[in-house]
Amino acid sequence: MSTVPSTIDPSTNESVRQVHGALRGALRTATGWIQWLVVAVSFWIAIALPLAYLPLLATGFTGGEALLFAGLIGANGVAFVVGHGHEPRSIRG
């Protein structure tokens, strides 16, 4: 019958720490990119969404279009709040 050693091999422990650190760094990078993407997309949605108001305003509200218009206003507000921190790069560089 064999017994399990009571100590952990230091080289194995160091390898586990390195892998753990690398995974934490990769997760932090991925989280940063996802957050940047959500903010950037929200920013551009907040800019483009008012174009959807134009046909509704031009034809007037009949039936469920008033509810659609209110939904568009609400979605634009959410996109504005979420995308507020985005700073697009200047085209001029």
3-state helix/strand/coil string of the chain: CCCCCCCCCHHHHHHHHHHHHHHHHHHHHHHHHHHHHHHHHHHHHHHHHHHHHHHHHHHCCCCCHHHHHHHHHHHHHHHHHHHCCCCCCCCCC
pLDDT digits (tens, 9 = 90+) for 32-71: 899 889 999 999 999 999 998 888 888 888 878 888 899 9
Could you give the number of structural domains in the chain? Answer: 1
- Is residue 2 assigned to a domain? no
Residue 17 has a pLDDT of 85
Confirm whether 61 is domain-assigned. Answer: yes
Domain span at residue 36 reads 10-83
Model pLDDT, residue 5: 59
pLDDT tens by residue, 3-41: 665 565 555 678 888 888 899 999 999 998 998 899 999
